[in-house]
Amino acid sequence: MNRLVIIKIGGNVIDNPDALKRFLTSFGSIQGHKILIHGGGKIATQVAEKLGIATTMVEGRRITDQPMLDVVTMVYGGLVNKQIVAQLQSLGVDAIGLTGADANTVRSKKRAVGEIDYGFVGDIEEVNSGQIQYFIRQNLVPVFAPLTYERSGSLLNTNADTMASAIAVDTAIRNEVTLVYCFEKKGVLSDPTNDESVINELTPESYTDYKSRGIINKGMIPKLDNAFKALEKGVKQVIICHADQVAEAVNGGSGVGTVLRLAEEKA
């Protein structure tokens, strides 16, 4: 099987030009087939504020009404995506910027209204890995903004971590996939005030233990839930690391980031 590296970049890296440049340089140095999925929430919030559009967050998740959908479409699919593509081109990486609507790559459905109405937020239904594979065969590097679409033709704001996991799972049918989540921390931390307190390895059992003791909490939980689901569905390995360490982590650097494994792989 072909090796495929799928990397999701988020956190404070996207809105820091120097940090983003370092990451993209490192990403560009990774050999072989690769895909990049990016966030950009802080920039979307800043742009919305300039336009006089209020941002509402519930438990860290953005409420996406029609004005906010317009903002995230402009920011994610336009400003952030095309800046990343342009920088990759300057590094000699032939990249193609995409949303899930482009070439029917990622389709979703609008999240049903429950206790909270998240608005135009998409839950992924289908990944067209054949089309993504076509881009890769043309030696293009797909760069996905966290936007999908539904059958009615509406764009939907979609969690970038979930999008990365879904693409990884579907492409794992044809490839040996490594999924990497990177941001401004060195991995999953046992002490959020100490950047050196990296948990080097997590299994479902140790993850459950850390959660029960409150060591792993808040926004890290949905990221790790997505990561373990990806492993269960065929992704070879998942790594969480600092954006500056992405090439080292992908190339098997010892002690870099947090490596997630299923229980049976630990024996």
pTM for the model stands at: 0.94
- Residues annotated as binding site for substrate? 40-41, 62, 157
Query: What integer is the mean pLDDT of 10-22?
Result: 93
Contact 190, 17 (CB under 8 A): no
Q: pLDDT by residue (tens digit) across 104-148? A: 999 999 999 999 999 999 999 999 999 999 999 999 999 999 999
Contact 123, 67 (CB under 8 A): no
**Closest Cα partner for 120 from 98, 146, 96, 143?**
146
**Closest Cα partner for 259 from 245, 238, 229?**
238
Contact 218, 61 (CB under 8 A): no
User: Which pLDDT score is estimated for 265?
Assistant: 47
Q: pLDDT by residue (tens digit) across 95-113? A: 999 999 999 999 999 999 9
- Residues annotated as binding site? 40-41, 62, 157
User: Which pLDDT score is estimated for 248?
Assistant: 94
Q: Is the dihedral of CA 213, 243, 140, 142 positive or negative?
A: positive
User: Which pLDDT score is estimated for 215?
Assistant: 92
User: Which pLDDT score is estimated for 267?
Assistant: 41
User: Which pLDDT score is estimated for 64?
Assistant: 97
DSSP for 93-110 reads: --EEEE-TTGGG-EEEEE
Contact 213, 55 (CB under 8 A): no
User: Which pLDDT score is estimated for 173?
Assistant: 93
Say which residues have a Cβ less than 8 Å from residue 108's Cβ, sequence separation at least 6: 100, 122, 123, 124, 125, 148, 149, 150, 156, 158
Contact 2, 34 (CB under 8 A): no
At 60, the pLDDT band (50, 70, 90 cuts) reads confident
At 22, the pLDDT band (50, 70, 90 cuts) reads very high
Lowest mean pLDDT among 14-28, 70-84, 242-256: 242-256
User: Which pLDDT score is estimated for 61?
Assistant: 85
Say which residues have a Cβ less than 8 Å from residue 162's Cβ, sequence separation at least 6: 124, 222, 226
Buried residues in 187-212 as b, exposed as e (16+ CB within 10 A): bbbeeeeeeeebbeebbeebbeebee
What CATH number does the domain located at 2-266 have? 3.40.1160.10
Q: pLDDT by residue (tens digit) across 160-188? A: 999 999 999 999 999 999 999 999 999 99
Burial of 54 (0-12, 13-18, 19+ CB in 10 A): exposed
Query: What integer is the mean pLDDT of 216-228?
Result: 86
Kindly report the average pLDDT of the chain as a whole number.
Answer: 93
Angle, alpha carbons 30-145-76 (nearest 5°)? 125
Number of Cβ atoms within 10 Å of the Cβ of 20: 20
User: Which pLDDT score is estimated for 264?
Assistant: 52
Residue 266 has pLDDT above 70, yes or no: no
CA distance 228 to 241: 16
Residue 56 has pLDDT above 70, yes or no: yes
Number of alpha carbons in the 13 Å side-chain half-sphere of residue 98: 28
Residue 50 has pLDDT above 90, yes or no: yes
At 218, the pLDDT band (50, 70, 90 cuts) reads confident
